[in-house]
Amino acid sequence: MNENFITETRFNRKLCREFISYVNLHKQIWLYALLLVLVSILEYRNSHSIERIGLFVLAMFLMYFVASYISMIILVKRSGKSLKIRFYEHHMFIETDTKREKIPYNTISKIVERDTCFYLFLKKNKGSFIIEKKGFSKGNVTKFYNFMTDHLSIKAT
């Protein structure tokens, strides 16, 4: 069984920061905004206190930035470590220094292409993978993206 693609990602601070920024912008910020609006409306109806709403809005902004910072610190702890992924026709193997795991493509919910990397998101918030474009040792970036979108569309039907 031959690999279609082999890639290795070496984690660094820049890569981790970009990923956290993407996730925060596309996933978490909407939750914070919705919660902010909902609780602000309820609080205003209850107390008619602009000061309390202002403090709540400030607290929500602080929580958002603290959560982002903590997420980045956790991810940056991987700095210097590598993730090797081998892509086969029906599954992929994830390899770290200590672990090897088989992941079928039907567990992937979407792929996102950025300037320097891809993000693979698993279903039901079970995780994600960062794949650096410069880390391909077999296959090329354009064919990889097409390969992954083909596999994602097959499982959706």
pLDDT at residue 157 in the model? 32
| DSSP reduced 3-state for 2 | coil
> What does the pLDDT look like over 114-139, one tens digit per residue?
999 999 988 876 778 889 999 999 98
pLDDT at residue 80 in the model? 59
Q: What phi and psi values does residue 6 have, to the nearest 5 degrees?
A: -130, 130
| DSSP reduced 3-state for 122 | strand
pLDDT at residue 153 in the model? 64
- E strand or H helix that includes residue 13: helix 13-23
Low-confidence ranges of the chain (pLDDT < 70): 1, 25-28, 75-80, 125, 153-157
CA angle 88, 92, 93 (to 5 degrees): 120
pLDDT at residue 1 in the model? 57
- Between the CA atoms of 32, 126, 22 and 118, what dihedral angle is there, to the nearest 10 degrees? -170
